[in-house]
Chain A
Amino acid sequence: MRATRPLIGLCLALGLAARPALGGDSRDLFFGEALYHAHQGQYFEAIQRLDTELAQYHRLDEPALDTLHYHINDAEFSVGDFELDYRMHYRAGRAIKRVLEGSVDDAVRNEAAFRLARIHFQKDQLDDALQALGRIRGTVPEQIKDDVEFLRANIYMATGRPSDAVEVLSHLQNDKTLAGFVAYNLGIALLQVGRQKEAIEQLDKAGQLAAGDPAGLAIRDKSNLVLGSLLFESGNFERAKQSLDRVRLEGPFSNQALLRAGWAEASAHNYDRALVPWNILANREPTDVAVQEAMLAAPNAYASLKLYGRSAVMYGRALELFSNQIEKVDASIDSVRQGRFLKALIREESREDQTWVIRLRSLPGAPDTYYLMELMASHDFQTALHNYLDLEDLRSKLMAWQTGLDAFDDIIRLRKQNYEPLLPAVDAQFQELDSRMRLRLEQRKHLAERLQTMLTAPRPDYLATSDERTAGQRIALIEKQLGNSDSAESLALRKRAARLQGVLTWRLETEYQERLTAAYEHLNELNTQVDALTRQYDAFVRTRQAATHSYVGYDAQIAQLRERARRALERVDTLMARQGHMIETVATNQLQARRERLVAQQIQARYGVADSYDRTARVQSGAEGR
């Protein structure tokens, strides 16, 4: 079973892209290396490694023999995941489409279609997302069945088809990993359809679901907050308060819940009870919108209770807070305009965990990022920030590569300097050795052929030793010297010579088979030497070629790469400037909007102080008059 699947449900519940997980049993080292980088968040390196590996795999004549074959589906999905993590949705989509169009089984194709739909959904391409889901047919992997339907419901809701979403979500309520989200979304879908009563009951249910993980707790809080707001708006203050009280005090929605709980009490004229949540809020992070609103709401409640002195003191505190915050926002706007926000962004230490954007505020000269939280929580701004950081990484890489290419030039130049004076002498010596070697190999070949012929046409004289050959020549010479003399002495000598020749012939004829066998054995022994010589020869040829290849033929490629890197660097610089300007403009606009709100609140506080003092004075003078 592919290891990716068990993780999908969990990763979806956390709202993250699915991660591959091979767990130490990777048979392909390069896929394993890509995972090593991906698990450290080095997606550029992961994509680069896996892309190369996949390209090599697809070029193979027999891919089934490659080690990547065992993981090919995982690898194809993983490269898409890495691209998604590296915010390259278009490429990720293309990678997944390749899987869809390939020859794969239903389960793999359906998972690919689901992933493609998810990418389209993230990019607001809702029709494409539905179309991708429409490609799911046949066996759907059990692990993603509910995720597919949940995504379908989300698309229906985003495309204004809440009744279809209600239908889908109603059948999903048993999935434990999705429970909180299904319950909440069903409530919202019912609200969109206009079934207000059912929506309230559904949100009430969602607000009381058991949850353990941060995401589950947060969606439960959100359900309670939305329900509380709905009930508040419909005038059901008591029930609204109950719902808002269920929101955790330490959760991300607690400030809003406390603020609205106060308003619920105040609307029911329970000002003293409204002061409880508002006073809690008044001591919280002063940059929060709800806290700032509570800073005005609380003294207003005191005034409603006719505690004007207390009200005046609190309005005074609020006035001081708004003045300080306006200064802080001004400093932040100034900081952003001077480019300190972007400088802080690209500092390495500011990116170590998920809260890095918020922690930027602690860096010297950086703007107060709490005022940018709402903006930073938006997907587009997050993408813009990450893109800026990615561009900075690309810029560093391209600059390093340019230096690397210079180093390659140096290597090539030094190799050329080293080899060029040496190689002519080496080549000359090699040519001489080469011709000698060829001659010997030719001789050996000739010998082998002769021995082969001698198997069918015996030639004992060919196997005579040098002594025998000398002896034969001497006998022939003696016979020649004796000529045709008929003298008795000559005849005796001729007989002796003939006898000697006979002995020689006898020996050659009778020992022929042994000698032929011995000759074959010697030839075979020579084969070992020839093989060693051939290996040495091949090694030399390879080394000689490697020497040339080490410095010849790179100039054009390096020049082209240098040019490509230069052009890419130019593009990166331009894009960084535009992306940076965009981030700064949006951040400044956001800060400006918050400033305007703070100024309005400051005026309210100033008026509140004056009014409270006025009322206090009137009360005091009334008391004195009496």
Chain B
Amino acid sequence: MKKTFHLPVVIGLVLALSFAGLGALHAARVPGDNKTETNAPDSTPDQQQMRGLDEQVQEVKSDVLSIAAELNQLEEKLLYPSGTQVAIFVALAKGDQMRLDAVRLEIDGQLVAHYIYSAKELEALRKGGVQRIYVGNVTTGDHQLNVLVDGKLKAGMDFSRTQHFTFHKEVKPKLVELTMAGPDAGKTPIMFGEL
């Protein structure tokens, strides 16, 4: 048997197993073994109290979510009315391996967003997440959008690209989607889409 002993690994595994109890995959309880993680129907008063509190926490979460929804609507109405609202979204092309480091956006020559991505955010984009990078106000009519992307390619080379687009703002809210891709993917580096 291997003699090395890594405590953090053990802790991780113990916790991982305890989390296994949260899912359907569940190690059954050994008769007479109180240490086996299981859903014991005969819960202690402490457990009952914890579950009672859990219900109340769920209720308050629901309440706060509904406040958040209303607050969002108010914020949108007050700060970004549909007549002037423009929202810009960033996505990564499916399966693209480029490491997106930063995105800079200029509307009509004005810098409106300069975002530097953390590893967690990049991972979320790679998994299909879409980031709302900017929400602001513009007048109806045509506008210039300059997009600058900095990143690193899979091979380790730096990647930088600037592209210019024009979008037309109408009375309804304007949604712009920018899909980034490294040159390896053989796709347009910055795909522009609008709604």
User: Quick one: which of B31, B64, B78, B93 has the most chain A CB within 10 A?
Assistant: B64
Which among A101-109, A498-506, A514-522, A565-573 touches the partner chain? A565-573
Interface size class, chain A: 35 or more
Question: Which residues does chain B contribute within 8 Å of A39, judged by CB atoms?
Answer: 123-124, 127-129
User: Quick one: which of A11, A250, A578, A579 has the most chain B CB within 10 A?
Assistant: A250
Which B residues between 15 and 40 are near A, CB-CB below 8 angstroms? 15-31, 33, 35, 37-39
**Does chain A have a CB within 8 A of B166?**
no
**Does chain B have a CB within 8 A of A619?**
no
Contact with A along B36-49 (1 / 0, CB 8 A): 01110101001101
Task: From A24, A251, A380, give the contact of B94 (CB < 8 A).
Answer: A24
B50 to chain A, nearest CB (A): 5
**Does chain B have a CB within 8 A of A333?**
no
Q: Is chain A's interface secondary structure helix, strand, loop, or mixed overall?
A: helix
Which among B2-10, B105-113, B148-156 touches the partner chain? B2-10
Name B residues whose Cβ lies closer than 8 Å to a Cβ of A: 1-31, 33, 35, 37-39, 41, 43, 46-47, 49-51, 53-58, 60-65, 67-72, 74-75, 77-79, 81, 83-84, 89, 91-96, 120-121, 123-132, 140, 171, 175, 177, 195
The reply to whether B57 and A391 contact each other, CB–CB distance below 8 Å, is yes
Given contacts A88-B62, A222-B27, contact A379 B18 (CB under 8 A): yes
**Does chain B have a CB within 8 A of A147?**
yes
Task: From A33, A121, A251, give the contact of B13 (CB < 8 A).
Answer: A251
Given contacts A118-B24, A565-B67, contact A377 B17 (CB under 8 A): yes
Given contacts A52-B69, A189-B28, contact A24 B49 (CB under 8 A): no
Question: Which residues does chain A contribute within 8 Å of B11, judged by CB atoms?
Answer: 355, 358, 373
Question: Which residues does chain A contribute within 8 Å of B41, judged by CB atoms?
Answer: 124, 126, 158
Given contacts A88-B62, A91-B58, contact A33 B5 (CB under 8 A): no
The reply to whether B131 and A33 contact each other, CB–CB distance below 8 Å, is yes
A478 to chain B, nearest CB (A): 59
Question: Which residues does chain B contribute within 8 Å of A188, judged by CB atoms?
Answer: 28-31
Given contacts A48-B68, A554-B78, contact A87 B54 (CB under 8 A): yes
The reply to whether B63 and A568 contact each other, CB–CB distance below 8 Å, is yes
User: Quick one: which of B25, B26, B35, B127 has the most chain A CB within 10 A?
Assistant: B25
Taking CB as reference atom, which chain B residue is nearest A192? B31
Which A residues between 12 and 44 are near B, CB-CB below 8 angstroms? 12-17, 21-26, 29, 32-33, 35-40, 44
Question: Which residues does chain A contribute within 8 Å of B140, judged by CB atoms?
Answer: 539
Question: Which residues does chain A contribute within 8 Å of B14, judged by CB atoms?
Answer: 252, 373, 377
* Complex: A587 Cα to B176 Cα, angstroms: 51
B176 to chain A, nearest CB (A): 9
Question: Which residues does chain B contribute within 8 Å of A378, judged by CB atoms?
Answer: 18, 37
Name A residues whose Cβ lies closer than 8 Å to a Cβ of B: 11-17, 21-26, 29, 32-33, 35-40, 44, 47-48, 51-52, 67, 86-91, 118, 121-122, 124, 126, 147, 150-151, 154, 157-158, 165, 178, 181, 184-185, 188-189, 191-192, 214-215, 218-219, 222, 226, 229, 245, 248-252, 254, 280, 284-285, 354-355, 357-358, 373-374, 376-384, 387, 390-391, 394, 397-398, 401, 404-405, 408, 411-412, 539, 542-543, 546, 549-550, 554, 557-558, 561, 564-565, 568, 571-572, 575, 578-579, 582, 585-586, 589
Question: Which residues does chain B contribute within 8 Å of A13, judged by CB atoms?
Answer: 25
The 3 residue pairs across chains A and B that have the minimum distance between CB atoms: A32-B130, A36-B129, A15-B20
Q: List 29 A-B contacts (CB under 8 A).
A: A12-B23, A12-B24, A16-B22, A24-B126, A25-B94, A25-B128, A33-B130, A35-B129, A39-B127, A44-B64, A44-B65, A87-B57, A150-B24, A158-B39, A158-B41, A184-B27, A185-B28, A188-B30, A250-B10, A355-B11, A373-B11, A384-B50, A390-B57, A394-B61, A398-B67, A404-B71, A557-B74, A582-B53, A589-B46
Question: Which residues does chain B contribute within 8 Å of A404, judged by CB atoms?
Answer: 71, 75
Question: Which residues does chain B contribute within 8 Å of A191, judged by CB atoms?
Answer: 30-31
Question: Which residues does chain A contribute within 8 Å of B47, judged by CB atoms?
Answer: 380
B49 to chain A, nearest CB (A): 6
The reply to whether A250 and B9 contact each other, CB–CB distance below 8 Å, is yes
A413 to chain B, nearest CB (A): 12
B195 to chain A, nearest CB (A): 8
The reply to whether B26 and A249 contact each other, CB–CB distance below 8 Å, is no
* Complex: A240 Cα to B44 Cα, angstroms: 33
* Complex: A376 Cα to B28 Cα, angstroms: 19
The reply to whether A150 and B74 contact each other, CB–CB distance below 8 Å, is no
Task: From A22, A154, A245, A571, give the contact of B26 (CB < 8 A).
Answer: A154
